[in-house]
Each structure stands twice: as structure tokens, then as C-alpha cells.
Amino acid sequence: MPPLPILYSFRRCPYALRARLALAVSGQVCELREVDLKHKPQALLQASPKGTVPVLVLPGGQVLDQSLDIMLWALRQHDPEGWLAPTHGTLHDMLALIAECDGPFKRALDRCKYPTRYPGVDGEAERARAVAWLRALETRLAASATPTGHLFGQHPALADSAIAPFVRQFSGIDKAWWDAQPWPQLQGWLARWQEGALFAGVMGDKLAAWVEGTEGVQFPCGERAAGAAPARG
């Protein structure tokens, strides 16, 4: 068997989560190495000195250490669900919305979720910025052509899985507050994503931290590892 790409990941990290989503849906088999972020393995730091996850090391030695680059690489190998081909808008449009998520929204999210890390920051102002962006997502989903709306048309696409992990993280800051918001489309979109088989498959059970000198675990497994194209939802 030819060598597999090696994926350094951390189960709960939203960046690592979205990379695993794309790898799983593409059927790209990897050796998964779960990282203890407090004790980063030397192999990870040698591959990517910045020491963040995810990092994908390809068999030829190329290193991808940005989650969106990993998603695009995987989907360009195999894209059975058409994540790069939305029914509304273009890949460029999706990348623009993802950039908003990764920039202003993520900045506000971090300051709402970890206020002690940002002394002197106006938490209410940051929440207002996050809420304004989430309301725009609600409007986008409400305009979808399907009852179970997606961000760019009739089926899930790159933007849905690139953005959902961060909306999930925001929703967990104060679940009662989240549930009370007048965002039925956004709340339903997130709930369907979290209840889906793809999310369950990439989260799986908590893994022990990878130990240098040992093999990681195969990811994904089952039908997706064989490259089967799951049904669109």
C-alpha cells in the first residue's frame, strides 16, 4: 500500500474539524494523529513550525497547514457531493463568505468566548458584531430555494462545512441565549449539520494523543474511506 497523507488534528478545533469534513466527504484516506496542544509533538513542529492544527503532510513531502487549503486540496482530488460547484453563486463567492467568517466573525467570536484573554475589550460590542453577521446568514438561508436551506443553493457546499464549525462554537457560548434568538433558519441549518452522519463520523470518539514513533489511526473509515459518494441532504 502506498504511504498515506498524515493529518495532525485536534478533535474540537473548528479549523481541524472543517478539514476533516472535506477529507471525509472526498474519501481521502489519511493517517490521523491526534495532537495534545499542550505538548505538541516534534514531528508536527518539524512539518509546520507554527504548531497549529490542522496540518496535512502529503506523501511527497508537501505540507498544507491551512485548513481551507486542505479542504480545497481534498475536494479537488474527489468531490462527489459537488461542494466546489454550488447551485447558487460560485466558488469565488463562497471563498469571500468564508473570509468574512475567518476574519471579522472569528475575531468577535474569540472575544466573546474567551473574554479574559482580551482585557479592555468591549464584549457587548464584539457580540453585536457577531450577531450582525449571523443575522446576515439567517437572511441568506431564508432566501434559499429549499426548505432545508444551505448557504449557496440546493445542496451543502464548501461554505456550509467551512463556516458551520465556527457557528457551532459561537452557539455553545450561551446555549440558552442562542436558542432564544429569532433565527429559525440558522438554528435549523446548524442543528441539521450537527445531527448529520458526516459530522458524527468526523467527530467520532475522543482519541488518545498520538505518541511519536507509533502509527496514527486511519481516517476516515468505512464507505467514505472507499470514496463512496453519500447522498446529498
- Name the DSSP letter for residue 88: S
What is the pLDDT, as a whole number, of residue 2? Answer: 82
Q: Are strands 63-64 and 55-57 parallel, antiparallel or unpaired?
A: antiparallel
In this structure, are residues 29 and 225 in contact, taking their beta carbons and an 8 Å threshold?
yes
What is the pLDDT, as a whole number, of residue 62? Answer: 97
Taking the C-alpha atoms of residue 201 and residue 43, their distance in angstroms, rounded to an integer, is 26
What is the pLDDT, as a whole number, of residue 222? Answer: 55
Kindly state the average pLDDT of the residues 109-116: 96
How many helices and strands in the chain, by DSSP H and E? Answer: 10, 5
pLDDT of residue 232 exceeding 70 = no
pLDDT band with cut points at 50, 70 and 90 for residue 146: low
In this structure, are residues 33 and 27 in contact, taking their beta carbons and an 8 Å threshold?
no
pLDDT of residue 1 exceeding 90 = no
Taking the C-alpha atoms of residue 28 and residue 185, their distance in angstroms, rounded to an integer, is 31
Q: How far is CA 110 from CA 7, 101, 104, 138, in A?
A: 25, 12, 10, 21
Q: Are strands 217-219 and 55-57 parallel, antiparallel or unpaired?
A: unpaired
pLDDT tens sequence across 45-101 = 999 999 999 999 999 999 999 999 999 999 999 999 999 999 999 999 999 999 999
Kindly state the average pLDDT of the residues 222-228: 44
Domain annotation for the chain: domains and CATH numbers: 6-82+202-226 (3.40.30.10), 91-198 (1.20.1050.10)
Helix axes 158-171, 14-26, angle to 10 degrees: 150
Taking the C-alpha atoms of residue 35 and residue 148, their distance in angstroms, rounded to an integer, is 35
pLDDT of residue 159 exceeding 60 = yes
Kindly state the average pLDDT of the residues 23-48: 97
pLDDT of residue 233 exceeding 80 = no
pLDDT of residue 221 exceeding 80 = no
Percent of the chain with pLDDT over 70: 93
State the Rg of the chain over Cα: 18
